[in-house]
Structure 1
Amino acid sequence: MVHGELLQLIVEAADEGHRLDRYIAGKVPDLSRTYARHLIEDARVLLNNRQVRPASPVRVGDVVTVQLPEPQPVGLVAEALPLQIVYEDDDVVVIDKPAGIVVHPAPGHNRGTLVNALIARYPEMAISGDLRPGIVHRLDRDTSGLLVAARNDRALHSLQAQQQARRMLKIYLVVVEGRMNESGGVIDAPIARHPTDRVRMAVMAGGRPARTHWRVLEELGEYALIEARLETGRTHQIRVHFASRNRPVLADPLYGPKRPRATFGLTRQFLHAHRLGFALPSSGAWVEFTSPLPDDLAAALARLRQRANSAIRRT
């Protein structure tokens, strides 16, 4: 989501009949349905050049124009929200983030985020004027898994230096649509914002360098379970890289096919931050943490395996 920009969206068949507020929230990354409703009510959203209600249904071919407001100062609010803490010491905290949670506040979405919960538990993290206190790397709203946050400036600088030097280990589990032609490799392709669809990223010449190392863990018929290791950490990197190879992440609403063959019960992309490693700022000792697949992804994987096994038995 880029504040201050004018977005133009064309409704496709997969979104036929959706409420306007739901449609916008699904198309603009990290924009909540509540904030989408406020934009509509503030006449910042037009449907076919007309002001309508948040509940208005969209139809194929409709043109939705969204004027995102310029960012305004937002104060941090401490909220005692549940956190799944994997590790903590005086310098860092490792969180296992569930899907559906935004990492840090933004204009129009300053409550209910991971940062709101962190500053309630660790008040020392609430640095004045910083909306992302202690955040070293982020996960998309609908991506689950591990991330680390710093509890003080010294730890923050240490973790940032590790990330910039590409010494931090970040491994994801992902299911892609389609068979992979090789057992592993590297996708080395620069990423920038899409030239016409400003809510998306794309592989583009002149973009920021981006490298994703990958290997196939399991063939699942017309799908594959893949381990992806990030060398760089660009926005939507894994999703963009595999989509550029015509192997989109399963059930990805932004980069996947408009008419997916099947979603196997998923309501979000099959992408999970499975393993995280870094050197502790205090001692330099290397630590690694793992997060098992959450229930929704584990259930989808079981369905994929069942389907793949059934296809084998029929041959």
Structure 2
Amino acid sequence: MELPPIIFEDETLLALDKPSDLPVVPASGAAHGECLQAMLREVHGRTITAVQRMDAETSGVSLWAKTKPALDFVSGLFQSKTARQVYQAFVIVDKEGDLLMEHPPIRDASGLLPETFTADYWLGPDTVNKNLMRVFSRNGGQVARTEFRVQENFGEYALVEGRPQTNRRHQVRAHLAAAGAPVLNDVLYGDARNQLRLSDIKRGYKGGANERPMIRSLALHLSELTFTHPVSREEISLNAPLPLEFEIALKNLRKFGRGRFGRRS
């Protein structure tokens, strides 16, 4: 497997445009080389280390430190909440509000996601399923806050921008699910049966039994990461373009989705 495209590199840092479904660090039972860390250490040696948490299923900016001072400095920015992350996600919006969840969905008067909203549910590890983060209204887990903006609304689907103000595991995914708009293809916090196919949005189109979804992996992408450089102390902003699957889905939603599912953004 080839290394993902390089977004930025100097003597202290390396940033890559990580594809979805590539683990950053070894997963349980994974063979050598099946993660980004193993691939990078073959090239850069054992000192290169991932700076931020990133799920294997999430695509986008993956930042690595080549030196211990750089790692300590940039990791401190995440801990102090001064590093800024911008995510983009395709979500499934349940318009009827019948999702099985503990919290009422966040909706506007028309039953869709509002143009902007904030999720401030606290997050903590689930006591039964260790792979999940449990959502609390208050006084449970740790404080977590994410600011969201709907970039384009297609009724049953939406392209949403998320800006986490804290740095918790699965924060964007758990907050969107709690808002009643889980990330498309999220098998942990959503319904894996809900996928986005052309036949779902194009009137009269019958895809057949072999029709593939337009987005096959978790539809969550870290598109922008802004932080202070550990050496120059200047602010740096790294960007990863939307994956091709996202672009194809967006093109088709713009063409076929608006009239069928709801208001224009």
The TM tier, using the shorter chain, reads 0.7 to 0.9
Provide structure 1 residue ranges, at least 5 long, that are not aligned to the other structure.
1-79, 128-132
Q: Distance in 2 between matches of 1:312 and 1:184?
A: 19
**Residue 229 of structure 2 contacts residue 235 of structure 2 at CA under 8 Å; is this kept in 1?**
yes
Structure 1 equivalent of residue 175 of structure 2:
241
- Shift, 1:290, TM fit: 1.2
Structure 1 equivalent of residue 89 of structure 2:
174
Q: Distance in 2 between matches of 1:231 and 1:84?
A: 27
Structure 2 counterpart of 1:93, from 3, 14, 27 = 14
> Are 1:108 and 2:29 counterparts?
yes
Query: Which letter maps to 1:291?
Result: A
**Residue 18 of structure 2 contacts residue 60 of structure 2 at CA under 8 Å; is this kept in 1?**
yes
CA radius of gyration, larger in: 1
Structure 2 counterpart of 1:120, from 35, 42, 56 = 42
- Shift, 1:100, TM fit: 1.6
**Residue 185 of structure 2 contacts residue 195 of structure 2 at CA under 8 Å; is this kept in 1?**
no
**Residue 99 of structure 1 contacts residue 143 of structure 1 at CA under 8 Å; is this kept in 2?**
yes
Structure 2 equivalent of residue 295 of structure 1:
244
Q: Normalising by structure 1, what TM-score? A: 0.67
Structure 1 residues 258 and 270, CA gap change in structure 2 (3 angstroms): closer
Query: Which letter maps to 1:189?
Result: Y
Query: Which letter maps to 1:275?
Result: E
Structure 1 equivalent of residue 99 of structure 2:
none
Structure 2 equivalent of residue 36 of structure 1:
none
Greater RCO, CA 8 A, separation 6+: 2
Aligned partner of residue 160 in structure 1, secondary structure: helix
Q: Distance in 1 between matches of 2:17 and 2:121?
A: 29
Query: Which letter maps to 1:115?
Result: Q
- Shift, 1:252, TM fit: 1.4
Describe the superposition over 1:203-243 as per-residue Cα deviations: whole angstroms up to 9, x where unpaired. Answer: 03421221111111111122221110111221111111111
**Residue 125 of structure 2 contacts residue 134 of structure 2 at CA under 8 Å; is this kept in 1?**
yes
Q: Distance in 1 between matches of 2:182 and 2:115?
A: 17
- Shift, 1:135, TM fit: 1.5
Describe the superposition over 1:50-99 as per-residue Cα deviations: whole angstroms up to 9, x where unpaired. Answer: xxxxxxxxxxxxxxxxxxxxxxxxxxxxxx84231111111111111011
Q: Distance in 1 between matches of 2:33 and 2:195?
A: 36
> Are 1:202 and 2:123 counterparts?
no
- Shift, 1:276, TM fit: 0.8
- Shift, 1:258, TM fit: 5.2
Q: Distance in 2 between matches of 1:296 and 1:262?
A: 11
Provide structure 2 residue ranges, at least 5 long, that are not aligned to the other structure.
96-106, 109-113, 198-212
Q: Distance in 1 between matches of 2:170 and 2:261?
A: 34
Structure 2 equivalent of residue 256 of structure 1:
190
Structure 1 residues 13-92: aligned runs within 5 Å: 81-92=2-13
**Residue 228 of structure 2 contacts residue 235 of structure 2 at CA under 8 Å; is this kept in 1?**
yes
**Residue 83 of structure 1 contacts residue 117 of structure 1 at CA under 8 Å; is this kept in 2?**
no
How many residues are matched? 227
Aligned partner of residue 197 in structure 1, secondary structure: coil
> Are 1:189 and 2:121 counterparts?
yes
**Residue 146 of structure 1 contacts residue 290 of structure 1 at CA under 8 Å; is this kept in 2?**
yes
Structure 1 residues 264-275: aligned runs within 5 Å: 264-275=213-224
Query: Which letter maps to 2:258?
Result: N
> Are 1:156 and 2:156 counterparts?
no
- Shift, 1:282, TM fit: 0.5
Q: Distance in 1 between matches of 2:6 and 2:39?
A: 11
- Shift, 1:261, TM fit: 6.3
Structure 1 residues 113 and 221, CA gap change in structure 2 (3 angstroms): same
- Shift, 1:106, TM fit: 4.1
Structure 2 counterpart of 1:143, from 58, 81, 84 = 58
Q: Distance in 2 between matches of 1:258 and 1:120?
A: 35
Query: Which letter maps to 1:89?
Result: D
